[in-house]
Amino acid sequence: MAETKLMALREAINLAQSEEMRKDDKVFLMGEDVGIYGGDFGTSVGMLDEFGPKRVRDTPISEAAIAGSAVGAAQTGLRPIVDLTFMDFITIALDAIVNQAAKTNYMFGGGLKTPVTFRVASGSGIGSAAQHSQSLEAWVTHIPGIKVVAPGTANDAKGLLKSSILDNNPVIFLEPKALYGKKEEVSQDPDFYIPLGKGDIKREGTDVTIVSYGRMLERVLKAAEEVAEEGISVEVVDPRTLIPLDKELIIESVKKTGKLILVNDAYKTGGFIGEIATMVTESEAFDYLDAPIIRIASDDVPVPYANILENAVLPNVEKIKAAIYKQVNKG
């Protein structure tokens, strides 16, 4: 069995980047404050000392320039990892990502790859207020040509980030910033990769399926653990990657339990979990549903700064448990 080590999520990100940069000198890291400062969330601490300023490149404060130069570097033979810090800032970088990186391989008949990974600190939970707390994955999952990865554990983050760096397509890699400091066992195997498009059953169950990813996975698992004491068996499905989505894993779980709850911390209206709900209703799993699908998401308001208000608009363990009780007719 491969050796593991207790590491925080930020450390697992650092390790994944470093391992791939040691293997391939075409891989490099770029972004605001990634060098001397070690990344706004500590994800590149020590990397400047090991790899030098040519491969750990501090950039100007311009997401448009960062994304444009990264796409150009990727299309001319390099493999950039881009630290865009807060996901909210991706709004400024979308032209290069959506109109260039996502489309060029198709437009050139498969002859122009864009192997670039955009890392974004996603979601709320640390009091960063309305402009630094959004989960905007639904924006990029809408665009063909982009892969979207959303790990909820440190070990998954390591294995998925390494696979993202090796992928020949643009990848948006969501990092749940509220979990950067959470420590878990992480594989130390430099050849540990988790393939994109392969989900995971985080908890086996028979009464109801909950599909969740990123930060909310932790809360879903806690809710499942608490209701288990009352004899309710919850199956927790973590897709890990949103595009490509492991549809079969979700469908088979719903067919087994007959009930489905979907949880994320993005806004409810237009959120990606709505796409999962539609996918299930269009599949053979629809005939197995014994109750309407329930979505639990952030309220459709800008994320408040005040802690008590931020907590009020987000999914929490009690809201998840209430949905479970409703599905199994105990609420």
> Which residues are designated catalytic?
63, 132
Its sign, for the CA torsion 201, 203, 209, 213, is: negative
Kindly tell me the sign of the dihedral angle through the C-alpha atoms of 212, 213, 216, 221: positive
Residues 98, 100, 101, 102, CA torsion sign:
positive
Contacts of residue 193, Cβ cutoff 8 Å, sequence gap at least 6: 159, 162, 163, 166
d(CA 107, CA 145): 11
Which two structure tokens, joined as six digits, stand for 191?
């050849």
What residues does 6 pair with on adjacent strands? Answer: 185
Side by side, the strands of the sheet bearing 200-203 are 200-203, 234-238, 208-212, 260-267, 294-298
d(CA 312, CA 4): 37
